[in-house]
Structure 1
């Protein structure tokens, strides 16, 4: 490959450290697609003969069929997927194969292939996120009125509905999809034709190859085009944010599935047992999702560190750009699929949730709000009155909403019987009618809007 410049071949260790075929073989579809577009442009521009272009295209199709059927063979001496394709093409069609690399470099070639691959990965992520969103919306619709404790500091704070809680994750995932969509829009420029770093003197048509590959336009600067990996970092940062959201949901399922909570029972399909304790049902899929989020974050950090000190244009360090992206892609796909399966099949324990919704006097804020709204009490004073009512309930060993009207009036005579319209957990959630609130009517409105966003009929 290096021609007459080097008198000796590389040392064995050099061949090993230099070779990337073990992982970049995943780019073979993109490499062949971009090569076919490139050679078609070369023929259209009169840079290569049409007969040679036809032979190259036919050979590339044969290579694609072979790789599809048998996988990509690995030869460290050929370094990467690009040279594997070119070497096999030469075996199939002879010297004409050498014309394929006219007016391009492996620098713009790999940048193009990798962008194409990441674009596909973004589309996969969007589909996986949408599937999980659909599962969340479906279960939220079932439980729009199911009362459960809402927490701050992992302490019971105010009653909410399970539907509202699940839809909070829908909103997180909606932002994740938008981040991936933004990343896709930014990456959709074609580096092909930038050559090694300075462009090419051949009369190439970069607009034609860009459009043929589904890009919006060619990149505007050849130096930037071959050395830019922002698109990979955008993908990893989007994947990291999504993984963090999945990890939070996984953590809640893990807590909820524990006996102290008892809010959910995960299906056998998403649980494992113990090698020694036959009674155990371990939420391993959720725990692995939580763990994998750290690996995805690590992949993002890895590529950031690789890129942070590189001068223009291409440096061999950038060979390490793909493995973090490939790893994050594989892990994110697994986590999205696993979380979708867990949500779809989870058995939520509604009665247990309702029983704990009043724990810790979770409707205390409703009493304070009622005093402000109905009795004209300044909120800070209402807060103190409510604190005394909570103390009384603790002393009586009852929930706040189980105090009698006489007991409440002993705390403050301005409290009237109408307070019970908001003081029970059910009444509390029903009263939270502000936009985005937990009132079942509001939750159902958001579910309807989410169905429309996802294209779900009915």
Structure 2
């Protein structure tokens, strides 16, 4: 059978051109969305009197049968038919005869493919927000279970100040909250209908774009037909949002890898999320966080790739824009795959509280607190900083930590020290002294947990509003 668009051509397409320009090998992933959009479009065509309603009903029935065949794996897609739109239209005509050719009335593949991608990303945006929410829940559960677990906080990967593990985990909850917020905000730009823009300038048929939008659950339609078929901002935004999620996951992955090492020993990942070595029987490798960390680069690459495709691209549609899909599909698979693993991995993670406590007791991360202590005694902070610096150096040279020193040793460096310095140096005191909004004090962390739970409930409520 000749091309559906072949009337103007005198030669068949070169086989290499067919293979090079065809997109069916990847855009077949849009089959369900393509038929979903077509069903709304043909309903509008019949309702508006553009085609007979009886024909519209036959076409709708045929589309439903084609979709059933696709889901059952009974429809063979052909590279010769280029893309998912032409493959489905040809299958439809084979199913119901020439009347199937009326389906494409009043539309172009340009506005059709844009509609498919809006439908696809609309669904994935909600799915990903849901997976982020599940990961938040797992982190919150671990935080609640570790409200009294103290570990070293780090800067430059050097021990800095003691913090609550719950406080540390809540930092990632906050990152994920921003991620969810970005996806929720971008949803309103995804949920706009381009169908009806035609190839670039609209159509001569009296279509009802707003009716189609209502049928498909879109909040509105594109105002400008040129913009409708050439806009890929919504995909760029999705890729940017996904890149930030992967950045956050990668940071957490790095800590999980470090913390599960013998050198740290702060956590143990469940066996179900680790693998072994083919030669070293003692090994338990944190492969999941390592691989998520590694896959971050491919998501970044898809973002840069699409931005580069769009650079200096003239209006309206250009074949370059076929390159918008594979990176989008791969990003969805990569991100959803990582998030599906992450929540149960965090939920089953064992925290070695005693090892964390030992680490806090055997370092100088309480030094800032005794500098602050001297400030409360009237010593200017810069002088207090110097005093404690010399005190720490003394401890290093004598193989002692601050809690190992005697009062006499403290007083060698300042007469302002008295007996209560040993209370000030206790990890619990150090943590709870930071009783400011957003700080690591237990009361502040409890309050932060409450706020995080409220945010999580709001996300759950937002997702509950979607039945699609």
TM-score by length of 2: 0.95
1:332-411 to structure 2, matched below 5 A, reads 332-372=335-375, 374-411=376-413
Question: Which runs of no fewer than 5 residues in structure 2 stay unpaired?
Answer: 461-468
2:433 is matched with 431
2:110 is matched with 107
Matched, 1:61 2:64: yes
1:253 is matched with 256
Q: 1:416, 1:108 → 2: CA distance?
A: 77
2:312 is matched with 309
Between 73-82 and 239-248, report the one with greater CA deviation.
73-82
> Which SS does the other structure have where 1:156 is aligned?
strand
CA deviation vs aligned residue, 1:144-178 (integer Å, no higher than 9, x gap): 11010110010000011111111111011111111
Q: 1:320, 1:260 → 2: CA distance?
A: 45
Return the offset for 1:71: 5.9
1:321 is matched with 324
Q: 1:318, 1:253 → 2: CA distance?
A: 39
Q: Provide closer, same or farther for how the CA distance between residues 165 and 73 of structure 1 changes in structure 2, counting only shifts above 3 A.
A: same
> Which SS does the other structure have where 1:455 is aligned?
helix
Matched, 1:447 2:452: no
Deviation beyond 3 Å, 4+ runs, structure 1: none
Q: 1:393, 1:425 → 2: CA distance?
A: 18
CA deviation vs aligned residue, 1:333-371 (integer Å, no higher than 9, x gap): 111122212211111111111111134300001111122
Return the offset for 1:33: 0.8
2:49 is matched with 46
Matched, 1:211 2:211: no
* 1:250–1:339 Cα contact (<8 Å) kept: no
Q: 2:242, 2:169 → 1: CA distance?
A: 21
> Which SS does the other structure have where 1:160 is aligned?
strand
Q: Provide closer, same or farther for how the CA distance between residues 71 and 359 of structure 1 changes in structure 2, counting only shifts above 3 A.
A: farther
Q: 1:214, 1:105 → 2: CA distance?
A: 21
Q: 2:440, 2:421 → 1: CA distance?
A: 19
> Which SS does the other structure have where 1:417 is aligned?
coil
Q: 2:19, 2:6 → 1: CA distance?
A: 20
> Which SS does the other structure have where 1:279 is aligned?
coil
* 1:25–1:72 Cα contact (<8 Å) kept: no
Between 413-422 and 354-363, report the one with greater CA deviation.
413-422
Q: 2:424, 2:211 → 1: CA distance?
A: 66
Matched, 1:162 2:165: yes
Equivalent of residue 293 in structure 2, options 287, 290, 299: 290
Return the offset for 1:268: 0.9
1:178-197 to structure 2, matched below 5 A, reads 178-197=181-200
RMSD of equivalent CA atoms: 1.4
TM-score by length of 1: 0.97
CA deviation vs aligned residue, 1:382-437 (integer Å, no higher than 9, x gap): 11111122123223322113322222122111122233332122221121111111
Question: Which runs of no fewer than 5 residues in structure 1 stay unpaired?
Answer: none
Return the offset for 1:73: 2.1
Q: 2:86, 2:199 → 1: CA distance?
A: 16
> Which SS does the other structure have where 1:46 is aligned?
coil
The count of residues paired between Structure 1 and Structure 2 equals: 456
